[in-house]
Amino acid sequence: MTLEQWFEKGMSIEQYVSEMEKNKEHLHYIYEQFQLPKGKGQLERNLRAIILTEDWCGDAMVNVPILMHIAEHHNIEVRVLLRDETWS
C-alpha cells in the first residue's frame, strides 16, 4: 500500500476525537491547556500527517492534542489510522 493510500484510508482528526471511548476528556483537557509559543510563523507549503494511534494509549492522549494545535496553526491535513485495526 502506498503512503497516499494509507492517508486516504485514515479518518479525520475530528472523527477520531468524536469516536474516542477512552481518554477523550483527558485529550480535551490537554488540548485546552496547551498553547503554541507566540511569534511562530506559518509553514509555506502544504503538509499532511498520518497518526497511528489508539484512544487507550496514554502517550497518544498527551501528544495528539499538541499535534492538533500544530496542524491547525500550520494548516496541516491530518488523518488517523487506528493501530489495532490497521495491523489486525
Query: Does the residue 77 lie in any domain?
Result: yes
Q: Is residue 49 part of a domain?
A: yes
Question: What are the tens digits of pLDDT across the range 66-75?
Answer: 999 999 988 8
Give the domain range for residue 52. Answer: 3-33+44-86
For residue 7, the model assigns a pLDDT of 93
Evaluate if pTM is beyond 0.85. Answer: no
pLDDT tens digits, residue range 12-50? 999 999 999 999 999 999 999 998 888 767 677 789 999
Whether residue 67 lies inside any domain: the answer is: yes
Share above pLDDT 90 across residues of the chain, in percent, rounded to a whole number: 66
CATH (domain of 58): 3.40.30.10
In the chain, how many domains are there?
A: 1
39-42 long-range Cβ contacts below 8 angstroms, 24+ apart: 40/73, 42/73, 42/74, 42/75
pLDDT at position 37, please? Answer: 83
Q: Is 38 inside a domain boundary?
A: no
Question: Would you say residue 39 lies in a domain?
Answer: no
Residue 65 lies in a domain: yes
* Residues 23, 25, 30, 36, CA torsion sign: positive
